[in-house]
Amino acid sequence: MNGTLNVYKKAGKVSDLAAFVKDKNLSGVVGMGHTRWATHGEPNDRNAHPHFSQSKDFAIIHNGIIENYASIKAELVKQGHTFQSDTDTEVLVHLIEEIYTKVNVPLEEAVRLALGEVVGAYAIVILSKNDPNKLIAARKGSPIVVGIGKDEFFVASDATPIIEYTKNVAYLNDGEVAVISDGELTVKTIGNEIKIPFVQELEMKLEALEKGGYEHFMLKEIYEQPRSIADSMRGRFDSRHGTLKLGGMREFEQKIVNAKRIIIAACGTSWHAGMVAEYLIEDLARIPVEVEYASEFRYRNPVIYEDDVVIAISQSGEKADTLAAIEMAKSKEHNFLESVMWLDQVSRVLLMLDHIRTLDQKLV
């Protein structure tokens, strides 16, 4: 408010930040916050989000990675920019301000032009000191959803924190920029094409998103695994014939049946899930399986044959690497299967596999 941007950030738990801002000025009708580990630099106060532009007129939060940030940063340093963090995120907001100042265009146009210069994945939200009633959001690779309430808007990476306030949401597509201003939502592509946002109503229930008496969400998810597995099988498992019917796989059925080799690309926990899948697929289907780190697979020139199938398993922590691996695999123009699975922990996959084995049925 009053032409200032109050930025408060603290490494550690959310409770540490809550204690830090207890006596701070939190007045205003527009705000943004972000919890994430640092992609570049240590996870400390200076690398925490939000990040300021050179003049401190703009603040940004960012999920993802700007891969060419180093070359952009070097050029901005030549232009007189100084940086307060080690992050790629701060480089992006400096680039936006450089274009805004030099080209003399509206902020949303500067954002659009800047995003045309960066390589990587991002979900960003930007706020201007000089226009505090406007929020600009954009995405590529990393998800963004806009919640539409009564005289209010919410921007988040998924619908979980929004449903408490509104069930009406619009999901941004890759390469789209959303501008929230004067009670209106407008969407353009990075190529400057106007898009009409598709507003849909969420079906999830608030109680499903709460801890339900458990000490923390991970414990709740562990105990919910049997029910989650049963829910995922409902309507797909045919007990009379001992088969699974997966509609989304039908288009690729013959490609999978004829596959000579399966390549699984993943990172982190998903990589471990891929290792489990390797044992299961080779045991049941007798098809050789290779499990690759997506972060390495994307930078190689791998040998991929026409009758190979590539499966990408992803989770939010490394999605940029996995998406890049997918694009690289697609560029090989072979029979490609993309299976994106959002996995929180290996135990969920292990339990699911154990449950499937106990069915003692033929899987197709």
- Residue ranges and CATH numbers for the domains of the chain are 14-207 (3.60.20.10), 211-359 (3.40.50.10490)
pLDDT digits (tens, 9 = 90+) for 117-142: 998 888 999 999 988 889 999 998 78
**What's the first-to-final CA gap in the chain, in angstroms?**
60
What is the residue whose two structure tokens read 């999830």?
204
Number of other CB atoms surrounding residue 19 within 10 Å: 12
Provide the token pair at 332: 């090989």
Greater confidence (95 vs 348) lies with 95
**Residues 256-315: pLDDT tens digits?**
888 899 999 888 878 888 999 999 999 988 999 999 988 888 778 888 888 888 888 876
Query: Element (H or E) spanning 208, and its range?
Result: helix 206-209
For residues 273 and 319, give the distance between their C-alpha atoms in angstroms, rounded to a whole number. Answer: 15
- The model's pTM is 0.69
The Cα-based distances of 247 to 14, 252, 364 in angstroms read 41, 10, 12
Above 50 in pLDDT, residue 46?
Answer: yes
Do the Cβ atoms of 356 and 364 come closer than 8 Å?
A: no
CA-nearest of 70, 172, 71 to 124 is: 172
Window from 144-158, 292-306, 341-355 with minimum mean pLDDT = 341-355
CA–CA gap between residue 209 and residue 96 (Å, rounded) = 36
Q: 198: closest CA among 225, 172, 230?
A: 172
The span from the CA of 340 to the CA of 103, in Å, is 40
Contact predicate 193/175, CB 8 Å: no
- Supply the pLDDT for residue 102: 93
11 closest CA partner among 56, 40, 57, 42: 42
* The 3-state secondary structure of 321-342, one letter per residue: HHHHHHHHHHHCCCCCCCCCCC
Side chain identity at residue 77, one-letter code: V
Taking the C-alpha atoms of residue 11 and residue 15, their distance in angstroms, rounded to an integer, is 10
CA angle 338, 143, 12 (to 5 degrees): 115
